[in-house]
Structure 1
């Protein structure tokens, strides 16, 4: 792994347990829902309006990435995040749509 590159679990290793644990948090579920609604599926991490500290945001991003829900990439000084829609739909059909559609 190159310096500055983040580790992401391969699609075939995604597990429903860590995904559901990550989605149990309202802030993380909101981030996933917002990414799900984007046509390009990608957004600057700093653009999310979450009512938490910067360190808490960083933790939320890590939990989402390690669960396999998002892919993060660094461009210049920015960190971008996108939902792994295709991987998730292939591995767990309908799960993300059901979660983001829930009240």
Structure 2
């Protein structure tokens, strides 16, 4: 998918198949219509599929900025930071928190 909005901080997993990044584009993956700041994504370079990573338990993108995506060596997990309060347990402190999302085989 092409987007006119900037994406940033792409990081390639060691195997070279997966790249994680964050973007404020709303047309990179299904259900990314929150229109709020940036979200974290991973792209499978073999299949061309882009998946939203900074998502709620229901699968929607979070309600705050998510940035600094870093893949594990095999791309099965993505570490990122977020100010969203709906990605998991929210301690209610208003600070940015770290999240790890398991994408497969975890």
TM-score tier after normalising by the smaller chain length: under 0.3
- TM-score, length of structure 2 as denominator length: 0.24
Structure with the higher helix share, 1 or 2: 1
Structure with the higher strand share, 1 or 2: 2
Larger RCO (CA within 8 A; separation ≥ 6): 1
